[in-house]
Amino acid sequence: MKTLTTTDSLAEFCNKAKTHEYVTVDTEFLRERTYYSKLCLVQLAVPGDGADDAVLVDPLSDGLSLDPLYDLFRDTSVVKVFHAARQDLEIFFIEADVFPDPLFDTQVAAMVCGFGDQVGYETLVRKITRESLDKTSRFTDWSRRPLTDAQKTYALADVTHLREIYEYLSAELKKTKRTKWVEEELQVLLTPDTYIIEPMQAWNRVKTRTNSGRFLAIVRELAAFREIYAQSHNVPRNRVFKDDALVELASTKPANLADLGRSRLLLRDARRGEIAEGIIAAVAAGLACPPEDQPKPDRSRDKLQVNPALADLLRVLLKAKSEGAGVAQKLIASASDLDGLSAGLRDCSALKGWRKEVFGEDALRLCNGEIGLAAQSGRVVIVDL
């Protein structure tokens, strides 16, 4: 197992990768104690079964630069293959403002090819390569050096099996003419907004049960303070204070340290110092927010007149279309999409791109009374009306 610890050795492998159709990529990182992921290892493999066709890259080595890897990412002649790429892409985007181009995500491709919703790498290895994985090193500390042989073997397997998985799925997509489907799905992974969290929008991630603009204004200010603090100190946002404590603070509205000390859910470190001062200031800012600037809860779906019978018919149609296409139902349309369609909404993902082709067009025809559904030989079929 070859481990690259210098920029020159990484550049040599990346130049070799540029002569191939694709390169498989994976990472190992830590994030339990930090806001941003700490990259600890990069795994790379090119087609072939030689000892030099799969390598480990140690980004913690003194003097090693990942610039040759980023240059490879920008080379559009080589497909960069990941499995469940989102967290990996976030690391590279935050570190170097770069996305692998072109990208292929085997988890997305597997869903399109009928392997179910968010299928795991281990499952694909078992079903496609007929091999098994040793996952005992999965939760080890990847920042410690030296890495054990078990860690290296585990890490390398994440890119060596990926070669066969990619070749199989790529062939299936070409055969079924669904390559464009995967490309559509990957666009969200290649959008910077997927990875950039604006502090003043962080409140949207907090679950509340109120429509009070003033309450939500306090939630917004608290969530923004927490996000800014977590980013600037590189600590997980839950280490500042958790969501349940945030909602409690929005309810109790502490005005001073004495009030803050009565919180049931606030961590001890948040009851004093910079965090405590930030909480009190955030609450005060939320209370002072004028009505016209308070967050407006999304009530667009509150008054929807969902047609239960039509929604049930849409579910039957979705199941039939999902089975016919060999694609997971959840990937095609959500329960919310179906309810919205039955209530007359026409702005949903089920009516866009490949989903419209597979399901959306007939869903609209069903809503418009142009088709019906019937049982025939044990399956659901469409009947023109």
Distance of CA 142 to the CA centre of its chain: 22
Percentage of the chain lying above the pLDDT 70 cut: 98
pLDDT of residue 299: 64
pLDDT of residue 304: 77
Neighbour-count burial of 184, counting CB atoms closer than 10 A to its CB (0-12 exposed, 13-18 middle, 19+ buried): middle
User: Region 43-47: what's the mean pLDDT?
Assistant: 98
pLDDT of residue 298: 67
User: Region 8-19: what's the mean pLDDT?
Assistant: 98
pLDDT above 70 (res 177): yes
Provide the H-helix boundaries in 36-113.
Answer: 67-74, 86-96, 106-112
Can you state the angle between helices 7-17 and 67-74, rounded to 10 degrees? Answer: 20
Name 123's Cβ contacts closer than 8 Å, sequence gap at least 6.
115
Q: Which structure tokens are listed for 384?
A: 């023109």
pLDDT category of residue 296 using cuts at 50, 70 and 90: confident
pLDDT of residue 212: 92
Q: How far apart are the first and last CA of the chain?
A: 64
Among candidates 16, 156, 157, 173, which has minimal Cα distance to 104?
Answer: 173
Specify whether the backbone of 348 is left (phi greater than 0), alpha (psi in -120 to 50) or beta.
beta
Q: What is the pTM of this model?
A: 0.90
Which of the two residues, 258 and 1, has the higher pLDDT score? 258
pLDDT of residue 246: 98
pLDDT of residue 301: 60
Calculate the average pLDDT of the chain. 95
pLDDT above 90 (res 117): no
pLDDT above 90 (res 213): yes
pLDDT category of residue 21 using cuts at 50, 70 and 90: very high
pLDDT of residue 210: 87
